[in-house]
Amino acid sequence: MADLSIDMCGIKSPNPFWLASAPPANSGEQVMRAFDAGWGGVVWKTLGAQVTNVSSRFGALDYAGTKVVGFTNIELISDRPLEVNLKEIYEVKKAYPDRAMVVSLMVETREEWREIIKQVEDAGADGVELNFGCPHGMCERGMGSSVGQEPEVLARITGWAKEFAKTPVLVKLTPNIGDILEPGLAAVKGGADGLSLINTIKSIIGVDLERMALLPRVENYGTNGGYCGPAVKPIALHMVAALARDKGINIPISGIGGISDWRDAAEFIALGSQSVQVCTAVMHHGYRIVEDMIEGLSDYLDDQGLTSVNQLVGRAVPGFREWGELDLNYKIVANIDAEKCIGCNLCYIACMDGAHQCIHTHKGPCQAWHGEPDHGMNARYEVKPAQLHEPREGLRDHVPRVDEAECIGCNLCELVCPVPDCITMREVRGDAAAESWNERVDKDRYGVIH
């Protein structure tokens, strides 16, 4: 079985799965239950000055019958007394010495940073995470994302933390910024030992149309919240990868954002994360999801012939190319498996209205859509004759046909087809040699005729 243990800038953990700084990491009793379930580490809910929270404070985006595709919150940092948190951190670390105990911090002045770092290290923290990411409540007070959006301030405060800390310092970045490299490089400049990202995305999850109030609603008012959960994963992956492939980022990354299962985690690791952190999926399904995460990642590593999770870190990073470096002559076309097709015509509609009008049914478009005779629509919109023609020999009536010569290989039809592996994309090898846009522009610039 592959070795899942990691050593992230000196913070050791039996596996790469950490609870993110959030409600599941709010108290000693919770964290101990999480460790019993198998979590390798925790980033304790952010500690700082005493705050008061509002209710309600959470909101969710449900989509097409799926609950909590996205999640939002307007919660602040821990609202439990600092002394209570410190005592519990001490007890948890004593009871679970092999787990990673990172404590998230957010205070304002240099003296406050000195004081709180000493307190959490005395309580047994293996490392600290500087919360420069919270996009609501704390940023208006000059903390959280207002620091994360100012690279110079971020570097200065990171420098303070490095001056005071004996343990590794992770910097947690906000995604609410144009170019994630700026705060990432600023953290490196400030001396950070590692980076964590992403924190939540500034958002409004919805509007109560009866009350005309923003959600989540505090009486009749709402405010910007922080968006997270499965829907933010692509944004988080992009930001992690952008840092991982930059030569200036020479410190490890803890990936966060929409991780719900081992596959999500493996993707973050393959794009450069050494550890991964989870919040929304635990809030939705509980601590026990880590059991499947450990088993799934372990099996995957074995299947790939990898003996340690560390061998997966960054493995997909070289797979990134700027758009201008992609091969313009690589071509694929859609292929429909007639045996699997149920004749729902979703591919036809998608290609007709959203792609290249090259999937054809055996009826006209009007009939295919409504199951009624054509009312002249085909004539009105000058539908190409091929779209009205007879089924190709050997294909059953309900199976649409792809005109391969017209197919641009966008794979929209494959994405919308409800039957697994019914539409696959087939590579078509042409005679043309590989050529990227950049190469083409260079040839033009230097006068080469092609």
- Catalytic positions, please? 134
Cα–Cα distances in Å, from 118 out to 79, 154, 211, 213? 20, 20, 47, 43
The rounded distance, in Å, linking the Cα atoms of 148 and 196 is 12
What distances in angstroms separate CA 85 from CA 120, 128, 196, 431, one per listed residue? Answer: 9, 14, 22, 67
**Which tokens sit at 327?**
């091969």
Cβ atoms of 166 and 198 closer than 8 Å: no
Does position 22 interact with ligand FMN (CB under 6 A)? The reply is: yes
Helix (H), strand (E) at residue 91: helix 82-95
* Residue 77 binds ligand FMN, judged by CB under 6 A: yes
For the CA atoms of the chain, what is the radius of gyration? 26
Q: Render 174-203 in DSSP notation, one character per residue.
A: PS-SS-THHHHHHHHHHT-SEEEE--PEEE
Distances in whole angstroms, Cα of residue 397 to Cα of each of 48, 110, 334, 378, 386:
67, 74, 18, 20, 15
3-state SS class at 340: coil
Q: Return the range that interacts with ligand FMN (CB under 6 A); candidates 109-117, 128-136, 262-270, 289-297.
A: 128-136
Determine the interface stretch with ligand SF4 among 123-131, 154-162, 187-195, 414-422 (rule: CB under 6 A).
Answer: 414-422
Task: Look at residue 123 and give the partner it binds from ligand FMN, ligand SF4, none, a contact being a CB closer than 5 to 8 Å depending on partner kind.
Answer: none
Q: Does 422 contact ligand SF4 by CB under 6 A?
A: yes
Single residue of 81, 343, 428, 448 touching ligand SF4 by CB under 6 A: 343
Going through 264-318 in order, the beta strands assigned E by DSSP cover 273-278
Kindly state whether residue 367 participates in binding ligand SF4, applying the rule CB under 6 A: no
* Stretch near ligand FMN under the rule CB under 6 A, chosen from 17-25, 158-166, 303-311, 441-449: 17-25
Residue from 49, 121, 408, 440 touching ligand SF4 (CB under 6 A): that is 408
> In terms of CB distance, is 82 or 410 closer to ligand SF4?
410
131 scored as a contact of ligand FMN (CB under 6 A): yes
- Token pair, residue 47, equals 């500690």
Instruction: Assess 232 for contact with ligand FMN (CB under 6 A).
Output: yes
**Are the CB atoms for 218 and 54 separated by under 8 Å?**
yes
Neighbouring C-alpha atoms within 13 Å toward the C-beta of 249 = 25
Determine the size of the site formed for ligand FMN (CB under 6 A): 28
**Are 227 and 73 contacting, i.e. CB atoms less than 8 angstroms apart?**
no
125/412 with CB nearer ligand FMN: 125
| Residue range at the interface with ligand SF4 (CB under 6 A); choices 154-162, 289-297, 352-360, 435-443 | 352-360
Q: What residue 2 binds from ligand SF4, ligand FMN, none (CB within 5 to 8 A, per partner kind)?
A: none
Q: Please select the residue that binds ligand FMN; options are 13, 15, 30, 46, rule is CB under 6 A.
A: 46
Q: Which of 355, 366, 368, 383 binds ligand SF4 (CB under 6 A)?
A: 355
Q: Which of 34, 102, 154, 259 binds ligand FMN (CB under 6 A)?
A: 259
Q: At what angle do helices 262-270 and 233-244 cross, to 10 degrees?
A: 30
Backbone dihedral region of 173: left (phi > 0), alpha (psi from -120 to 50 degrees) or beta?
A: beta
With binding defined as CB under 6 A, does residue 349 bind ligand SF4?
no
> In the complex, what is the shortest distance from the CB of residue 190 to ligand FMN, in angstroms, rounded to a whole number?
17
Binding mask of the shown chain, residues 386 to 405, with x at each position contacting ligand SF4 by CB under 6 A: --------------x-x---
Our CB check for ligand SF4 shows the closer of 151 and 409 to be 409
Question: Measured from the CB of residue 398, what is the shortest distance to ligand SF4 in angstroms?
Answer: 7
Q: Can you tell me whether residue 388 is helix, strand or coil?
A: helix
Q: Which helix (H) or strand (E) holds 256?
A: strand 253-256
Say which residue the tokens 């243990």 belong to: 5
Residues forming the site for ligand FMN (CB under 6 A): 20-23, 45-46, 71, 73, 75, 77, 104, 131, 133-134, 172, 199-200, 228-229, 232, 256-259, 278-281
Residues forming the site for ligand SF4 (CB under 6 A): 334, 336, 341-347, 350-351, 355-356, 358-359, 400, 402, 407-413, 417, 419, 422-423
